[in-house]
Amino acid sequence: MRNSSISSPYPYFGPGAIPEPEPGVLSVPNRTGLDALTFALLWCFIFSVPFETSLMVPGLGTIARLFGIAVMPVALLAILARGWVRQLSIVHWCMVAFVSWSSLSYFWSVSRLRTQDRVFTEVQLLIIVLLIWQFCTSESSRLTLAKAYIFGTLVSCASTMYRYAAHQYTEYGRFSAEGFDPNDLSLTLALSIPLSYYLFLRNRTALGWVWLIQIAFAMLSCFLTASRMGAVVLILALSIVLITARQLSAKRRVGMAVLFVVAMMVCIGLIPKASWKRISTLTTEVSHGTLNRRTEIWAGGVRMLGKKPIFGVGAGAFPIAVWPVLSHFDVDHAFVAHNTYLSVVTELGVFGLLLFLILLAALIATVLRMEPLARKAYGVMFLVWFVGVCVLSWEYRKPTWVVFALIAQAVGYAPKLPIFTPGRGRLPVLARSRYVRTLGEQPARP
Residues 396 and 298 in one domain: yes
Residue 71 forms part of a structural domain: no
Residues 196 and 264 in one domain: yes
Residues 338 and 223 in one domain: no
pLDDT grade for 381, boundaries at 50, 70 and 90: very high
Q: What's the one-letter identity of residue 269?
A: G
Average pLDDT over residues 52-58: 88
Structural domain containing residue 374: 89-135+292-412
pLDDT at residue 206 above 90? no
**Measured distance CA(402)–CA(43) in Å, rounded:** 11
Among candidate residues 258, 290, 322, the one where a domain is terminated: 290
Residues 116 and 181 in one domain: no
- The percent of residues above 90 in pLDDT, for the chain, comes to 53
**Measured distance CA(211)–CA(310) in Å, rounded:** 46
Per the CB < 8 A criterion, the answer to whether 331 and 127 are in contact is: no
Residue 303 forms part of a structural domain: yes
The answer to which of 97-111, 359-373, 416-430 has the lowest mean pLDDT is 416-430
Residues 318 and 271 in one domain: no
Residue 56 pairs in a beta bridge with 62
Q: What is the pLDDT of residue 4?
A: 39
∠ CA(383), CA(438), CA(210), 5° rounding? 55
Residue 73 forms part of a structural domain: no
pLDDT at residue 58 above 70? yes
Average pLDDT over residues 127-144: 92
User: In 271-311, where does DSSP find H-type helix?
Assistant: 273-279, 282-288, 294-307
SS3 73: helix
As to burial, measured by CB atoms within 10 angstroms (0-12 exposed, 13-18 middle, 19+ buried), residue 239 is: middle
Where are any strands of DSSP class E within 48-169? 56-57, 61-62, 84-86
Residue 47 forms part of a structural domain: no
Residue 125 forms part of a structural domain: yes
More confident residue, 121 or 9: 121
- The percent of residues above 70 in pLDDT, for the chain, comes to 82
Q: What is the pLDDT of residue 19?
A: 36
Residues 315 and 247 in one domain: no
Residues 163 and 271 in one domain: yes
pTM given for the model: 0.84
Residue 437 pairs in a beta bridge with 413
Most trustworthy range by pLDDT among 78-87, 220-229, 281-290, 353-362: 353-362
Residues 248 and 321 in one domain: no
**Measured distance CA(381)–CA(96) in Å, rounded:** 23
Residues 100 and 148 in one domain: no
Among candidate residues 232, 264, 290, the one where a domain is terminated: 290
pLDDT tens for each residue of 214-272: 999 999 999 999 999 999 999 999 999 999 988 887 777 887 788 888 888 888 888 88
Where are any strands of DSSP class E within 282-394? none
How many domains would you assign to the chain?
2
**DSSP notation for 249-262:** -HHHHHHHHHHHHH
Residue 43 forms part of a structural domain: no
pLDDT tens for each residue of 261-308: 888 888 888 888 888 888 888 877 776 556 666 777 888 788 888 888
Residue 79 forms part of a structural domain: no
Per the CB < 8 A criterion, the answer to whether 182 and 170 are in contact is: yes
Residues 178 and 98 in one domain: no
Residues 264 and 336 in one domain: no
Residue 274 forms part of a structural domain: yes
Return the sign of the alpha-carbon dihedral for residues 391, 393, 399, 400: positive
372-388 helix and 340-368 helix, angle to the nearest 10 degrees: 180
Residues 283 and 385 in one domain: no
Among candidate residues 242, 264, 290, the one where a domain is terminated: 290
Could you tell me how many helices (H) and strands (E) the chain has, helices first?
Answer: 17, 4
More confident residue, 1 or 354: 354
